[in-house]
A and B are shown apart, each in its own frame.
Chain A
Amino acid sequence: MELIDIVQALGLLFIFLGIGTIIVSAIGLFKLPDLYLRASAVGTSAGLGVASIVLGALLMDFSGLNLLKAVIAIIAQLLTSAVGSMAIARAGYLNNALPAEITHIDELSLTRRSSDRS
């Protein structure tokens, strides 16, 4: 009985860690100035946030089959979230979303069209 309580508490800890990461990313959406920095902030909750919520749910409801499903879910999340945020950043670049003023080196600026800004 004691072991089960410890595992459940550990699961809750991971769930709250993941929720904290998602809230910090949401704050980052307001504090960071441009699309690319915001995509970086969302990247923390895409990787660590979702992975630790799934891990916490696994610890609270543990079985062998659930372990397999949770491991596949975490790996799939890590691989696909990278593809998703690359697609969003690339669409922003094709759409001429300019980086904020504090970006001190910009070696892509030569490839940007100077008209066609939407």
Chain B
Amino acid sequence: MMSWPFRIIGFLLWYAKEFLLANLAVTADVLRPRRRMKMRPAIVAVPAASRTDSEWTLISSLITLTPGTLTITISREHGILYVHGMFVESRAQLVADIQEMEDRLLNAMRREPGDLTRPTERPVVRPLDEAAPPFAPGAAQHPPTEAGERS
């Protein structure tokens, strides 16, 4: 195990590499003709091992700073990061990528590794307003009553 300042420098170098590769991937996909675009966007709930305020802030900022992944919101009581990814082949792949970045960040930030356990069960999620109409299965994903949305 390297000492603490060197671990931070190592993480920054690794992150710079990831940042440049993600920039290249997004730029190349925008320039590709519409038929052959490789993007497969998804919004995935990623279980997170962050505990303190600074860890939550840093991991969500670093995810957003990498082009192609975007933190939409976090749920601290459930320990979940909701991440929008641009190139997602499967749920497990995006979760593995985000958790690798988080592992490296926490290893660099903490003087001792601490606990890296993550919540395992899926949280029960509800609309923000309690007064919202009850959830109808099948109608929620893409309701046909979209007036303003176009591509």
- Say yes or no: A33 contacts B64, CB within 8 Å: no
Give the shortest distance, in Å, between B15 (CB) and chain A (any CB). 11
Interface readout for A94-110 with B: 1 if CB under 8 Å, 0 if not?
10011111111111111
Residues of B within 8 A of A94 (CB): 128
The answer to whether the Cβ of B50 comes within 8 Å of any Cβ in the partner chain is: no
CB contact under 8 A between A78 and B129, given known A107-B43, A110-B140: no
Kindly list chain B residues whose C-beta atoms are within 8 Å of the C-beta of A44: 23, 26-27, 67
How would you classify the secondary structure of chain A's contact residues: helix, strand, loop or mixed?
Answer: helix
**B 68-110 to A, binary, CB cutoff 8 A, 1 in contact else 0:** 1111110000000010101010010000000000000000000
A contact residues around B139 at 8 Å (CB)? 114
Question: B-facing mask of A56-90, CB < 8 A → 1, else 0?
Answer: 00000000000000000000001101110110011
In the assembly, what is the distance between CA of A83 and CA of B57, in Å? 9
Which of B88, B132, B140 interacts with A109 by CB under 8 Å? B140
Shortest distance in angstroms between B64's beta carbon and chain A's nearest beta carbon? 4
Bound Cα distance A90, B102 (Å):
21
* CB contact under 8 A between A40 and B26, given known A89-B84, A105-B88, A114-B132: yes
Determine the chain B residues whose CB is within 8 A of the CB of A117 once the complex forms.
145-147
Q: How many residues of A contact B (CB 8 A)?
A: 51
| Nearest residue, chain A, Cβ from B86 | A40
Give, as a whole number of angstroms, the nearest-CB distance from B73 to chain A. 6
User: A78 near B30 (CB under 8 angstroms)?
Assistant: no
A41 at the binding interface (Cβ < 8 Å) = yes
Whether A41 contacts B26 by the Cβ 8 Å rule is: yes
Which chain A residues border B149 with CB–CB below 8 Å? 34, 97-98
Given the interface pairs A24-B31, A37-B39, A100-B151, the reply to whether A107 lies near B67 with Cβ below 8 Å is no
B132 to chain A, nearest CB (A): 5
Q: Which of B105-151 contact A (CB under 8 A)?
A: 125-129, 132-133, 135-136, 139-143, 145-149, 151
Q: Please give me the residue from chain A that is nearest to B30 by CB atom.
A: A28
What distance in Å separates the Cβ of B129 from its nearest Cβ neighbour in chain A? 6
Chain A residues lying within 8 Å of B41, measured Cβ to Cβ, are 34, 36-37, 99-100, 102-104
Within 8 A of A (CB), among B1-31: 19-20, 23, 26-27, 30-31
A27 CB within 8 Å of chain B: yes
Q: Are the C-beta atoms of B42 and A24 separated by less than 8 Å?
A: no
Query: Which residue of B44, B66, B136 contacts A107 across the interface (Cβ within 8 Å)?
Result: B44
Contact A36–B26 (Cβ < 8 Å): no
Q: Note all chain B residues with C-beta closer than 8 A to A78.
A: 65
